[in-house]
Amino acid sequence: MMGDGISRSHREQDDGSRRTAGAAPRMSNFRITPNALSHKLKLHQLQIFERVLARRSLSRAASELHLTQPTVTKAIHDLEAFFGATLFERSNRGVTPTELALVLGRRVHAMMAEVRYMADDIDAVLGGASGHVVVGTLIAASAKLLPEAIARLMTEHPGIQVTVREGPSAQLLPALATGDVDIVVGRLPGADMASISGVAVDHHKLYRESLCLVVGAQHPMAHAQSVSLPDLIDHIWILPAPTSPLRASVERTFFDAGLRLPARHVESLSLLTNIGILMHSDALALIPYDAAAQFLSMGLLARLPTDVFGDFGDVGYSIRADRPLTPACQRLVDYLKTIAAQRP
């Protein structure tokens, strides 16, 4: 065993030196069968392996799983002994997965998601009002719709655990396909996104959201009676990231008006960051109305009188079409629908 605690007993050696990362592992001389896997592999080993693969670090995986590093090291050692091959190469910057680890990781990742779904389903059958729902949220839902739904869910079903992951649709929709999140709430993608990475996805509209152009309350244009796009081109803008569907719509609006995209701009999908920038600068930002409403009512932001950018789009939720919702996720969907129906 090497100093990093990961078994090297099955590695090919050249002059006794450590094999470099990325070299093909020496595979075991027996055939891996479903029988062998079911008899020899343990679920907790695979859970540990998945975290090491995700974090590229034994210590970080141990911390996340609330285990000691020797426990994590032993689990990886036992897996390598079973396969007769190396899973991770160690360096002073962490661990690097071998080809075998990457192949195994894709399957284990899906398996861990299924284990979570199974736990929720069994708990529901046994009469529990618990479970775990992982929600991916986009800016359109992060200020009002989703917080209200989660608040009601946790008040009426305190046994349900909720994990929220915020990010752009380019990250969250693939995470939905792999089972990393159970549901994505926010601006719905186009009809061409009915399948993500080969997984069928259903998109459910809750309401149509408007878009508003806002500035900080102290902005020189905060009380303007009218504005035109050419008047605004030289200001600092907060724009969506280039991968955001909204960004393409904004760019098209400028180009259709014969204008270039504002040269001075910040790219951000963080609502709180955007609000902070607006309050401390003369920047402008396009924000879904629901996200801006509470800040407008508090007098922290002002809305400029223009609708040249049109609507934000349809807001709703996306779920996988190939599996039923867990009871915990279904309860969240019910609250989302109730809150959406109560909108003015």
CATH at residue 8: 1.10.10.10
Average pLDDT of every residue of the chain: 84
User: Both 150 and 294 in a single domain?
Assistant: no
Q: How many CB atoms lie within 10 A of CB 277?
A: 17
Domain range for 243: 210-311
Taking the alpha carbons at both ends of the chain, their separation in whole angstroms is 66
pLDDT (tens digit per residue) in 31-60: 777 777 777 788 889 989 988 998 899 999
Between 258 and 244, the more confident residue is 258
Torsion sign over Cα 132, 138, 139, 140: negative
Q: Beta strand 284-288 with 311-320: parallel, antiparallel or unpaired?
A: unpaired
Note the pLDDT of residue 8. 41
Please give the average per-residue pLDDT across 177-188, as a whole number: 90
Structural element, H or E, at residue 318: strand 311-320
pTM value? 0.69
- If asked whether residues 7 and 121 sit together in one domain, one would say yes
Same domain (yes/no): 304, 191:
no
Predicted pLDDT of residue 19: 40
- Half-sphere exposure (CA, 13 Å, Cβ side) for 176? 34
Report the sign of the C-alpha dihedral through residues 69, 72, 76, 77, in that order. positive
Judgement on whether residues 109 and 180 belong to the same structural domain of the protein = no
Last residue of a domain, one of 69, 99, 127: 127
User: Are 53 and 184 part of one and the same domain?
Assistant: no
CATH of the domain at 170: 3.40.190.10
**What is residue 222's three-state secondary structure?**
coil
Q: Indicate if 245 and 293 belong to the same structural domain.
A: yes
| Residue 25 CB-density burial (10 A; 0-12 exposed, 13-18 middle, 19+ buried) | buried
Instruction: Give Cα separations from 87 to 13, 80, 151 (angstroms).
Output: 16, 6, 42
Task: Judge if 6 and 121 occupy the same domain.
Answer: yes
For residues 323 and 182, membership in a common domain is answered with yes
Domain boundary among 78, 108, 127: 127
Residues 6+ apart with CB under 8 A from 85: 10, 25, 26, 27, 28, 98, 100
Q: So what's the pLDDT on residue 281?
A: 92
Q: Is the pLDDT of residue 1 over 90?
A: no
Q: Over pLDDT 90: what percentage of the chain?
A: 44
pLDDT band per the 50, 70, 90 thresholds, residue 304: very high
Asked if 80 contacts 87 with a C-beta cutoff of 8 angstroms, the reply is: yes
Pairing of strands 183-187, 311-320: antiparallel
Q: How does pLDDT run across 83-103, given as a tens digit for each residue?
A: 889 999 988 888 999 999 999
